[in-house]
Amino acid sequence: MFAYDALNAQDGDMSPADDSMEEGHMALAMGEMAEAAVHYQKATTLDSGHADAWQCLGMALVKLEKLDEAIVALEKLVQLKPRDQLAYTSLSLALGRAGKISEAEEMAAKAKVAAWGGDPGKIGNSA
């Protein structure tokens, strides 16, 4: 079990979504990115509010070069964590790799605002 997950588990009482996350982490550790993405997707299905699952899914999809799917996942992450620097940075990365440069730059600016404690929602019209 990863240290972060161990801190969040109470006497082995993990949710089904957390179990899927753990399986995804194990697949990732074994270099099985596609399998990890399947587990992270399952975690988002089991708990659509599980921000860490959306983060992991989005980044796994970026690594698999499934950029349109990654962008959708990371947009969901931004909805769940609208003041989170990492959420905007991850979305910026996916958008940039997809060639959506102006959108990527906007998300990068929002990441900076989030890092400074501001409201990223006051910048632009996207995510």
Can you give 37-86 as a three-state secondary structure string?
HHHHHHHHHHCCCCHHHHHHHHHHHHHCCCHHHHHHHHHHHHHHCCCCHH
Domain 1-64 has CATH 3.40.50: no
pLDDT over 80 at 24, yes or no:
yes
pLDDT over 80 at 95, yes or no:
yes
| Tokens linked to 106 | 């906007």
pLDDT over 60 at 2, yes or no:
no
CA–CA dist 127, 87 (Å, integer): 11
Give Cβ neighbours of residue 74 (< 8 Å, ≥ 6 apart).
54, 55, 58, 87, 90, 91, 94
pTM for the predicted model, two decimal places: 0.86
pLDDT over 80 at 3, yes or no:
no
Is residue 108 within 8 A of residue 88, CB to CB? The reply is: yes
Q: What is the pLDDT of residue 14?
A: 87
Q: By percentage, how much of the chain surpasses pLDDT 70?
A: 88
What's the rounded mean pLDDT across residues 24-32? 96
pLDDT over 70 at 43, yes or no:
yes
